[in-house]
Amino acid sequence: MSMLRVALSRSRSACFRRRSTSIRIRFRRIPPPPLPATPVQANCKPRRCTVATPARASGLQRRSSPTYCYADPLSNVGWPFENRAESPDPAHSRQRNPTGPIVGPGAVLLSRSTSCNVQHVAPPRSPFQPRCGWRRSPDSPARRRRAFRTGRSTCWPDRVGSLSRATAFRRAPTRQVWSIVSDGTQAPSTTTPALPTAEATPTAPPPQAPAVDQPTSRFDRSLVEGPLLPGVWRLAWPTMLHNVIGGLQGIVDHAMVGNYVGYQGNAAIGVSWQIFLVVVVFIASLFTGMSVLVARFAGAGDADRVNRAVYQAFLTSMILSVGILAPVGWFLSPALLEVVNATPEVQVHALPYLRIMFLFSSGMLFFFMLGAALRSAGDARTPMRIGIVVTILNLVLNVILIGGFGPIPALGTTGAAMGTVIAMWGAGIYSLVALRRDIWVVSFARGMSLKPDFEMIRSLFRFGLPAGVQGVAMNVGGVFLLGFIGSLALSAQAQAAYTVGYTQLFSLVTWTTVGLMSAAATLAGQNLGAKNPERAEKAVHLAARIAVGIALVVGILFILAPDSLLAIFGMNDPVTIDLAVELLGYLSVSAIFIAVALTYTGGLQGSGDTKSPLYISIISQVLLPIGMCFFFQQTGTLEASEIWLAILLGHVTRCLLSVAKFRQGRWRDIVVE
């Protein structure tokens, strides 16, 4: 019996020990030390200085006077003191004197300056001492998990020093403090510092501030420093791959629609996309203005203004797309199809496709906005990864919806539209969550203002509106070309040849060149933000040379294997094949000129000169080709070959004017605010 009591006693003791060790976090309140004497602050008014840095530690903007500023990581305010010996002791956990200054632990002395002097400060020690294990930095990926153990473990507090739970580390103020640790700039001590005693001298002079480097930027600084070729290629190849994969998805869509519906389905998708782009490009022009602002702010290392520019573009585009584009596009779709002279058999398939695209355009616009924002900030790989997932999802949905699968009937062009919008909306929802969690180079961080910033919106329209008018003008030119094609005797066959040859196959050039165009715009904007215009010019020239090489390869492919390329789309009509082969011959030459034109257009737009590409596009893409087609139509000799020739001459003109405008160099003096 005594042995049984001993066993039960040991069992209860072990159980109690297990239960006690299961309590992971305990808190104990450590009373703060007594307040120090009020420092003397003669002729010195405290002033808040807003600075966007990973740590968000601010100094004081002050005239040249014998004052010293202390950066307080808890309050994000720098306070001046006339004499170092009269300043409060920064070793105290948190002090507030009657006149208002707050100095927290880890405060460091900033040098005297007339401008805002920003330095990293060490994370403060919390008055709450939870017994915690490892902690993950919320501002870094999962691979950056670190364990900070000092005896029973010391956890770092948030900015206001009121940590109550372990999950409080995920709050936005904490994220700013932890960014110092996760960036490797300054790590916490591996020993628990002793708390100041009540006998601590309140007027003891603070220690000398250690020499610290400039704040580590969250943006890729190799874009404004070091060799150019790796920077151009690092920005260009993810966009190229994304565009190629997305374009291949469009080719698969056309191939499936062509096999299930016929050439009328291909013509319906081509006509619908042309109309949709004309209408939606005005709203998407905000993204060009956003890209100009983001690239310039990222080059200057201003993360706060980068995030505000992205959010304001998102807010404005969502309001316009949901409130205006969706309802207006739904009701005007039949009239728009009549404008482009779509035949009745084409309208049957184009109307449901176009209405679905208009109704759910907001998801697509958000997807486009995110890609533009990340690329302008220097991250081209994240949009590529998201785009690949969207493409795969879209392909799977198209296989199910276009041709039918099991109980799901074949929906034809309607299924193609549904697959596109479902995939885009899925990517948009995921991206919005990621932006709120602050895991990318741009974010909608908690704590940022969600109200409209009309000054920022005005800047978005200032730089974006010319690009929007340019896009509208170019697409209006395309619509007029479709109208001239629809007036031909073989209109349906010519529209199918134009859709496959120009809209799809010629995209092999534009897919890759748009990647280089985006790289040129980003490098031009960021290097201008970093006050290095010579490097910006060299980057644009280098991107143009790479684009010419790619265009030559694609042009040779158009000449050597046109029939094989057209066979992918299920073209079996001899008249349509002849028209498409003739078009590819013209486009093989046009590819070189449009590649150069797009690259220099990116350089101009990235620097903030969005008006010059507008004027160039109106001349080369509207007045010249439409004027030629109108002349041939009035003389009664308009044929498909004249329309193909007008496209070629328009691209040549755009190339020459873009290069000449960029070489003038006036883009160097554009100010972005």
CB count, 10 Å around CB of 439? 15
**What kind and span of H or E run contains 557?**
helix 533-560
Check pLDDT > 90 for residue 98.
no
When mean pLDDT is compared across 52-56, 569-573, 624-628, the lowest value belongs to 52-56
Max mean pLDDT range (165-179, 387-401, 532-546): 532-546
pLDDT recorded at residue 30? 55
Check pLDDT > 70 for residue 126.
no
Three-state DSSP class for residue 492: helix
46 to each of 62, 96, 99, 650, how far by Cα in Å?
A: 9, 14, 10, 61
pLDDT recorded at residue 28? 52
pLDDT in tens, 166-223: 333 333 333 333 322 223 333 333 333 333 333 333 444 444 444 333 444 578 788 8
Residue 503: which pLDDT band, with cuts at 50, 70 and 90?
Answer: confident
Mean pLDDT score across all residues of the chain: 72
Stronger pLDDT, 65 or 241, i.e. the higher one: 241
pLDDT recorded at residue 662? 95
Residue 467: exposure state from Cβ atoms within 10 A (0-12, 13-18, ≥19): buried
Check pLDDT > 70 for residue 105.
no
pLDDT in tens, 543-553: 999 999 999 99
Domains of the chain by residue range: 226-667
Three-state DSSP class for residue 96: strand
pTM of the model: 0.63
CA 252 to chain centre: 27
Check pLDDT > 70 for residue 439.
yes
Residues 6+ apart with CB under 8 A from 149: 133, 190
User: Using an 8 Å Cβ cutoff, are 119 and 70 in contact?
Assistant: no
Share of the chain above pLDDT 70, in %: 68
In order, the DSSP letters of 216-251 are: PPSS-GGGSSS-HHHHHHHHHHHHHHHHHHHHHHHH
> What is the CB-side half-sphere exposure of residue 427 using CA atoms within 13 A?
29
pLDDT in tens, 580-596: 999 999 999 999 999 99
Residue 440 is encoded by which pair of tokens? 């990318």
pLDDT recorded at residue 176? 31
Residue 492: which pLDDT band, with cuts at 50, 70 and 90?
Answer: confident
Check pLDDT > 60 for residue 408.
yes
**Average pLDDT value for residue range 142-156:** 35
Whole-number Å distance between alpha carbons of 209 and 77: 17
What sign does the dihedral 472-373-385-229 (CA atoms) show?
Answer: positive
**What kind and span of H or E run contains 77?**
strand 77-81
Q: End-to-end alpha-carbon separation of the chain, Å? A: 86
pLDDT in tens, 298-343: 988 888 899 999 999 999 989 989 988 899 999 999 998 988 778 8
pLDDT recorded at residue 409? 86
pLDDT recorded at residue 83? 34
